[in-house]
């Protein structure tokens, strides 16, 4: 087996990729603040806490169009791992509150009706976060309050709808140290919301104790855009035969050339390294000298790294 290295760090890099599940993470933090900035306002949510500290329940729905999402880097296959909002006031709530976040991929392009039911808005949505002992910190502008999703949400294209539900009914009075005034912008037909003395069944697009017409809070996401790319790379590269006896053939049907390959055995020992030069569709590796068992082939392309498992018998 050929084990020479053109770059001494190649094995280290690829083994690090293996230890991370063989995938390169491309996490990005992005914000959507479409439209002109408006004065901070408690009524736009995602959590309704006014100066009276009276309402203990609220529900909100927010719409983000495909154009808005694409402008900050969303592509089909993008994974969302956190979401956050920003308030201007350094007030806090000790809780406990029940706070939940829902997301859904959608073909909706506007929240144009004056009212909409929670049942309709939440239909088809996935709960991505819930905490029955939620507290809200004093964190204020320019910092966001981020919520790490229980499970990553995959954006598949089109619009994205995000819904929130807040219930602080069991907390002692006062429920907060003061109002939550949320940073927001003016953008048409992107919000439904309502605070109340019970969980509201119907949400309003224009008023929520005060006007929320054409307002929406600014939002922050942590996203990983590499997921769709990894899947595409993986689909374009095949290894055969598998199981193998004498050789394996790596066929690359993608446009990005293979730059290097590393084979490790089941315990992580490197048994083969090759750095490619030039563009080849087919790569053949002699495996006749390998012991029978499972192996992992790390393939580095210009667009990322994939790992293929194969067996020698």
Q: State how far the Cα of 300 lies from the Cα of 8, in Å rounded to an integer.
A: 15
Coil vs helix vs strand at 251: strand
Which tokens sit at 69?
């999402």
| C-beta separation of 202 from 117 below 8 A | yes
CATH 2.60.40.3080 domain residues, the chain: 10-24+228-312
Contact 99, 130 (CB under 8 A): yes
pLDDT-based confidence at 39, cuts 50/70/90?
A: very high
Average pLDDT over residues 15-37: 68
Q: Measure the CA–CA gap between 268 and 266, rounded to whole angstroms.
A: 6
- The predicted structure's pLDDT at residue 237: 87
Classify residue 58 by burial, with Cβ atoms within 10 Å: 0-12, 13-18, 19+. buried
All residues at 6 or more sequence positions from 70 whose CB lies less than 8 Å from its CB, including other chains:
none
Phi and psi torsions of 288, nearest 5°: -65, -25
What's residue 82's pLDDT? 97
> What is residue 114's predicted lDDT score, i.e. its pLDDT?
97
CATH number of the domain located at residue range(s) 10-24+228-312 in this protein: 2.60.40.3080
User: What's the fold here for domain 27-224?
Assistant: Jelly Rolls (2.60.120)
For the chain, residues classed under CATH 2.60.120 are: 27-224
């Amino acid at each position: 087996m050929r084990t020479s290295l053109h770059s001494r760090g190649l094995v280290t890099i690829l083994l690090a990729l293996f230890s991370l599940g063989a995938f390169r993470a491309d996490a990005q933090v992005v914000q959507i603040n479409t439209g002109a900035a408006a004065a901070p306002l408690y009524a736009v949510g995602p959590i309704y806490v006014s100066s009276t500290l009276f309402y203990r329940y609220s529900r909100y729905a927010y719409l983000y169009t495909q154009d808005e999402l694409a402008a900050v880097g969303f592509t089909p296959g993008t994974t969302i791992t956190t979401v956050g909002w920003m308030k201007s006031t350094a007030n806090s709530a000790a809780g406990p509150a029940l706070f939940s976040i829902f997301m859904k991929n959608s073909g909706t392009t506007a929240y144009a009706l004056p009212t909409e039911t929670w049942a309709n808005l939440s239909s088809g949505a996935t709960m991505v976060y819930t905490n029955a002992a939620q507290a809200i910190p004093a964190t204020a502008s320019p910092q966001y309050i981020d919520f790490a999703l229980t499970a990553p949400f995959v954006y598949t294209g089109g619009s994205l709808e995000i819904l929130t539900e807040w219930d602080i009914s069991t907390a002692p009075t006062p429920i907060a140290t003061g109002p939550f005034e949320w940073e927001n912008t003016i953008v048409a037909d992107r919000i439904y919301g309502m605070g109340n003395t019970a969980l509201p069944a119907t949400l309003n697009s224009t008023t929520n104790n005060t006007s929320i017409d054409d307002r929406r809070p600014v939002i922050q996401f942590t996203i990983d855009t590499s997921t769709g790319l990894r899947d595409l790379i993986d689909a374009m590269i095949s290894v055969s035969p598998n199981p193998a006896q004498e050789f394996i053939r790596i066929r690359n049907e993608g446009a990005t050339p293979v730059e290097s390959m590393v084979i490790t055995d089941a315990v992580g020992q490197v048994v083969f390294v090759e750095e490619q030069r030039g563009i080849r569709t087919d790569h053949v590796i002699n495996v006749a000298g390998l012991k029978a068992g499972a192996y992992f082939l790390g393939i580095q392309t210009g667009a990322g790294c994939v790992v293929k498992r194969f067996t020698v018998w």
